[in-house]
Amino acid sequence: EFKLSVLRHLWDNALSYSQVATHFNIRNPGILAQWVRLYRHGGLGALEPRRKGRLPTMPTPSKKPSSNQEPATPSHEALLEELNYLRLENAYLKKLQALVQAKEKLARERKRK
């Protein structure tokens, strides 16, 4: 609305860009030439402020209606079984790492001699 009123004042009073810029306290009179060009090329819609920044690269995910069903949770026994398996796996990996480190240490000691 402001841009359109500035342009109307410019055209109705047949003033220069710098005169209109000082009247409306616009620092750069060259912006008025740009507004005129935009208005002549695209009409009133071209004077609307554009959204700043980058456009989102990913589309916004559509929200799916949530179902009333609860997700299937594993039983207590299954969780304990998985915990036991993971503990055993962790212990195995620790032993393996200790063996590899001992082997490397032995190889370093042999190189020194």
Examine residue 97 and state whether it is found in any structural domain, yes or no.
yes
CA dihedral 41, 43, 49, 55 (to 10 degrees): -60
Q: Where are the alpha helices (DSSP H) in 1-113?
A: 2-13, 17-23, 30-42, 76-112
Decide if 66 is inside a domain: no
Q: With bands split at pLDDT 50, 70 and 90, how would you rate the model's confidence at 76? A: very high
pTM for this entry: 0.44
**Domain extent for 25:** 2-47
The number of domains in the chain is 2
Give me the pLDDT at residue 89, please.
97
Asked if residue 67 belongs to a domain, the reply is: no
In-domain check, residue 28: yes
User: Between the CA of residue 108 and those of 75, 97, 104, 112, what are the distances in Å?
Assistant: 50, 17, 6, 6
Q: pLDDT tens digit string along 11-65?
A: 898 888 899 999 998 898 898 898 898 888 888 777 777 777 777 677 777 777 6
Residue 42 sits in the same domain as residue 79: no
